[in-house]
Amino acid sequence: METITQTDLELPLLRKGKVRDTYLINTHLLMVATDRLSAFDVVFKEGIPRKGEVLNKLSIFWFMKTTDIIGNHFLTNAIPAHLPAYLNGRSMVIEKAEPLPLECVVRGYITGSAWKEYQKSGIVCGIKLPEGLKNGSELAKPIFTPSTKAEKGHDENVTEEKARSIVGDEAYNTIKQKSLELYSFGKNQALKCGLVLADTKFEFGYRTDKDGKKKIILIDEILTPDSSRYWLKESYDKGVLESLDKQFVRDYLEKTGWNKSPPAPALPADVVKKTSERYLQAYKMLTGKEI
């Protein structure tokens, strides 16, 4: 299967994101998950084979399982015949929605940027955590730690007060509650599959119904190895944080001395290959199917 890092369709391009390209198609949108890799908010030249397929198909898998928690933007994965064949498997037709300008992060375990912040102050996004936690420690209960959604540069963690000022109290209460419910569902399902869902992020938007009323729905992606940290439970139980997600690339980059600003350094072929293998393994473990 060809690695796809760029798309050029005969449709109006609405948005080119770090990984996804979104086009207008009739009254809906066509969202294409490319094989582009973004790490530390910088897009790399090298694509990760089959990554877009994993993101697209795994999102659909979770969208279908979580409709009783909250509605989402997914309509169909049937791609019109006149469009290029490479879109099949990596694309979905979605409803239009007005995105809320927050990344809704839920953490059930402490690691990553939260671990670095905790080491300095014992506080993560304004939330005081118990003393004595280690990298990878499970929290007594998941915490909601939203961040700004930056079009360019790095997202920034914000306090609850700041997040409420951005989206308003009613929207904040809804997305916080739904994020925690979605995380809890995903965590329990992942554990059954031999994986630990350490943390994840969700995005929400307003869908306008036919009567003109706005309703918050889930958009973008859900519980993928791009938006989540998955650890092998077998390794976690032995005290080892073995990632089946983008963290594998981040760990490699941390050792290179790169300053995390563009341009991105070249990725060795073995890092690309092993990253692809991890994405495919996560998909197989979570769905029980080969991609």
Shared domain check, 89 and 104:
no
Residue 267 within any structural domain of the chain: no
Total domains in the fold of the chain: 2
Question: How confident is the model at residue 153, as a pLDDT?
Answer: 57
- pLDDT 10s digits, 153-184: 567 889 999 999 999 999 999 999 999 999 99
Same domain membership, residue 229 and residue 126: yes
- Do 217 and 82 belong to one domain? no
Question: What is the structure's pLDDT at 193?
Answer: 98
Residues 141 and 38 in one domain: no
Q: Which residue segment(s) compose the domain that 121 sits in? A: 98-252
Could you report the per-residue pLDDT of 203-253, keeping only the tens digit for each? 999 999 888 899 999 999 999 999 999 999 999 999 999 999 999 999 999
CA distances from 205 to 38, 217, 263 (A): 22, 6, 31
123 and 226 co-located in one domain = yes
The reply to whether 209 and 110 lie within a common domain is yes
> Are both 123 and 181 inside the same structural domain?
yes
Kindly state whether residue 287 falls inside one of the protein's structural domains: no
119: left (phi over 0), alpha (psi -120 to 50) or beta: alpha
| pLDDT for residue 164 | 97
Q: For the residues of 210-242, what is the DSSP string, one character each?
A: TTS-EEEEEES--S-TTTEEEEEHHHHTTT---
161 and 210 in a single domain? The answer is yes
Query: Which of 187, 13, 224, 199 is closest to 118 using CA atoms?
Result: 199
83 and 113 assigned to the same domain = no
Same domain membership, residue 24 and residue 51: yes
The torsion angles phi and psi of 284, rounded to 5 degrees, stand at -65, -40
Q: Is residue 65 part of a domain?
A: yes
